[in-house]
């Protein structure tokens, strides 16, 4: 009497591997002669994704081996099959919404009798892979966030980490005065491509720093991946993806995080590589950027303190980074020069500036809209401050200019993403320093003093003084052993000429001597502890005319110090 045979399937190895041969044997026990039309063994692999109550699938592989028709005599028969598993076959996986499953189908076709069909689960492991080359990369939070907040820089040894490997890198925090802790979170999720379904399947957290960290300091970290995680997978019906979250937790307000996609690769079966290089972050990275940019623009660089300096004729330039409470990290260029003598002020415009006297407007609409300019004499300023100079200072977020220099400010968190941003800022600051340094020597005199400029220049050369043409003022002149200055004081109405002779060393008590002779020659005379000051009418056509008064002031100064009878002075 015909009976269905008994079957058993044996695997030569406990699991299949991609890129390897998988050998199986079907053991068939027949109790009587049983004809069969075919005996087939099929290795099948599918990936599944569950969407709502629907289950979609994609066939990964189907490998079949068939055996010749025969009569199974009473007894035990063995049928061996070998499957060449494709190199790209993914490992078995069971997740929250998705699966990768393999099984072996046994089919014995028996004529005029129900066929025998059975399935056997086949575990699929990860095959040997070639290690992904490690490429150091650096990542940043959004540097253009509209409000001041902590800014993170993260450098990774590689964004590709082998299964059970170690994620290595470093992080730094800028503008992090209220940061209380920094943590790493490594998370994975299953995604279904055609619909917005994402299911988080794992989240690992590692604390790497607690308490406030030094501004821009490098904080290294290592995070070892555990055994139970699933490598990255991109299939037809679903994907398994990994992210690194670097989180800065703050004492008040909302913290900041940086999300970086990473790839977890299957095990390569090779010894772990030695730790590789990690790019510099924070102040270390900026020091490299500053050194390169300073060299590009021929400036002297103090990379440790993030400072560049240079000189351009009459102007000196200093560039540094500053933390500003209202706006975070800024690059600040300070251009300084000797006084222009124009009573010049260029400041950001405020509503109250409508009442500000002596305002000067240029033909640059954007500049006049953003800034208010004042000077003692608009004609004198316009003849010196060219439209090109105005344009050169209009490229910054904030500008303040006065007689002695300019402060040029740019919100520079963008410096974190590209050295080009700092280089552009430095190039513009150098351009301003060059223009103002060259133009400094060509400041015109006030219209009231234009005709007298040659006499003042000759007097300055004669006594070794420095002429400030804008106010018509001579600084640091010497008469014998005495230092003096003379110039036009425009602050009063009417203007006056001020002569100041230094008393060195200063007096220890107020001068009580007779000033009648000097009072007869000047508008006002004052003897302080460190200087004698006399005021005369202005404009003064030729300062040589006050030499007799200067000599009287010298005698008064020496007499006040008790030096008139001292043969050694």
H helix or E strand, kind and range, residue 40: strand 38-51
Over its length of 569 residues, how does the chain's per-residue pLDDT go in tens digits? Answer: 567 789 999 999 999 999 999 999 999 999 888 888 999 999 999 999 887 777 888 999 999 999 999 988 899 999 999 999 999 899 999 988 899 999 999 999 988 888 899 999 999 998 877 777 888 999 988 765 545 678 899 999 999 998 888 999 999 998 777 888 999 999 999 888 777 768 888 899 999 999 888 888 999 999 999 888 889 998 888 899 999 999 999 887 778 899 999 999 888 777 777 888 999 998 888 888 889 999 999 999 998 888 999 999 999 999 998 877 666 678 899 999 999 999 999 998 887 767 677 788 777 767 878 888 899 888 888 888 888 888 888 889 899 999 999 999 987 654 454 688 889 999 999 999 999 999 888 899 989 999 999 999 999 999 999 999 999 999 999 998 999 999 999 988 899 999 999 999 999 999 988 898 889 999 999 999 999 999 999 999 999 999 999 999 999 999 888 764 443 34
Give residue 29's region: left, alpha or beta (phi > 0; psi -120 to 50).
beta
Report the alpha-carbon distance of residue 171 to residue 222 in Å, rounded. Answer: 11
Instruction: Answer whether 459's CB lies under 8 Å from 352's CB.
Output: no
Instruction: Answer whether 180's CB lies under 8 Å from 249's CB.
Output: yes
Q: How many helices (H) and strands (E) does the chain have?
A: 8, 35
pLDDT at 181: 92
Instruction: Answer whether 107's CB lies under 8 Å from 40's CB.
Output: yes
Rg (CA), the chain: 43
pLDDT at 61: 95
Number of C-beta neighbours around residue 106 at 10 A: 21
Query: Mind spelling out the 3-state secondary structure of 397-440?
Result: CEEEEECCEEEEEEECHHHHCCHHHHHHHHHHHHHHHHHHHHHH
3-state helix, strand, coil split of the chain in percent (to 5) is: 20, 45, 40
pLDDT at 445: 92
pLDDT at 183: 94
Task: Give the DSSP letter of residue 124.
Answer: B
Residue given tokens 């690992």 in the structure block: 204
pLDDT at 493: 85
pLDDT at 327: 62
Strand order of the sheet with strand 531-537? 466-468, 473-479, 482-489, 496-502, 531-537, 524-527
Going by C-alpha positions, the residue among 469, 471, 414, 482 that lies closest to residue 442 is 469
Going by C-alpha positions, the residue among 483, 473, 436 that lies closest to residue 452 is 473
pLDDT at 449: 93
Give me the phi and psi of 27, to 5 degrees please: -100, 115
pLDDT at 145: 56
Q: Is the pTM of this model over 0.85?
A: no
pLDDT at 418: 64
Report the alpha-carbon distance of residue 180 to residue 546 in Å, rounded. Answer: 68
pLDDT at 568: 36
Beta strand extents in 211-282 (DSSP E only)? 219-224, 233-234, 239-250, 256-265
Token digits of residue 158: 């590689």
pLDDT at 344: 92
pLDDT at 322: 82
Going by C-alpha positions, the residue among 382, 561, 317 that lies closest to residue 307 is 317
């Amino acid at each position: 009497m015909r009976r269905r045979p008994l079957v058993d399937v044996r695997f030569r190895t406990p699991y299949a591997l991609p890129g390897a041969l998988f050998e199986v044997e079907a053991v068939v026990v027949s109790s009587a002669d049983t004809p069969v039309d075919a005996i087939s063994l099929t290795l099948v692999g599918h990936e599944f994704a569950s969407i709502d109550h629907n289950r979609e699938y994609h066939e990964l592989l189907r490998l079949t081996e068939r055996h010749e028709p025969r009569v199974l005599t009473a007894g035990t028969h063995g049928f061996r099959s070998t499957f060449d598993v494709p190199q790209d076959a993914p490992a078995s996986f069971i997740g929250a919404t998705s699966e990768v499953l393999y099984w072996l189908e046994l089919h014995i076709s028996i004529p005029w009798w129900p066929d025998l069909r059975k399935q056997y689960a086949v575990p699929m492991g990860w095959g040997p892979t070639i290690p992904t080359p490690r490429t150091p990369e650096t990542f940043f939070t959004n540097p253009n966030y509209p409000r001041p907040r902590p800014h993170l820089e993260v450098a990774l040894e590689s964004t590709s980490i082998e299964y059970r490997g170690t994620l290595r890198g470093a992080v730094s925090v800028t503008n992090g005065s209220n940061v209380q802790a920094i943590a790493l979170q490594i998370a994975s999720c299953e995604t279904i491509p055609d619909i917005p379904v994402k299911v988080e399947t794992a989240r690992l957290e590692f604390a790497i720093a607690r308490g406030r960290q030094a501004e821009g300091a490098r904080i290294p970290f290592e995070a070892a991946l555990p055994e139970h995680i699933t490598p990255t997978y991109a299939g037809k019906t679903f994907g398994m993806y990994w992210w690194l979250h670097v989180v800065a937790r703050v004492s008040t307000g909302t913290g900041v995080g940086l999300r970086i996609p990473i790839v977890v690769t299957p095990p390569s079966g090779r010894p772990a590589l030695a730790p590789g290089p990690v790019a510099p972050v924070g102040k270390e990275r900026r020091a490299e950027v500053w050194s390169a940019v300073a060299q590009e623009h021929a400036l002297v660089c103090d990379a440790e303190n993030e400072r560049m300096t240079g000189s351009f004729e009459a102007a000196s330039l200093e560039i540094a980074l500053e933390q500003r409470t209202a706006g975070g990290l800024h690059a600040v260029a300070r251009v300084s020069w000797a006084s222009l003598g124009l009573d010049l002020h260029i400041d950001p415009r405020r509503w109250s500036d409508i009442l500000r006297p002596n305002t000067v407007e240029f033909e640059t609409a954007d500049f006049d809209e953003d800034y208010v300019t004042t000077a003692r004499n608009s004609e004198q300023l316009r003849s010196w401050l060219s439209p090109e100079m105005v344009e050169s200072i209009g490229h910054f977020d904030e500008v303040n200019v006065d007689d002695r220099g300019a402060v040029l400010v740019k919100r520079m968190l963008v410096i974190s993403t590209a050295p080009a941003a700092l280089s552009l800022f430095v190039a513009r600051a150098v351009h301003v320093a060059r223009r103002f340094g060259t133009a400094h020597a060509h400041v015109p005199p006030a219209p009231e003093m234009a005709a007298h400029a040659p006499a003042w220049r000759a007097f300055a050369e004669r006594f070794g003084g420095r002429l400030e043409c804008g106010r018509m003022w001579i600084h640091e002149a010497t008469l014998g052993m005495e230092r003096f200055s003379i110039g036009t004081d425009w602050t009063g109405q009417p203007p006056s000429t001020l002569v100041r002779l230094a008393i060195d060393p200063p007096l220890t008590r107020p001068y009580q001597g007779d000033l009648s002779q000097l009072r007869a020659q000047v508008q006002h005379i004052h003897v302080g502890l460190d200087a004698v000051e006399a005021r005369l009418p202005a404009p003064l056509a030729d300062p040589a005319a006050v030499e007799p008064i200067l000599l009287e002031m010298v005698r008064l100064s020496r007499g006040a110090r008790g030096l008139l009878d001292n043969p050694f002075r």
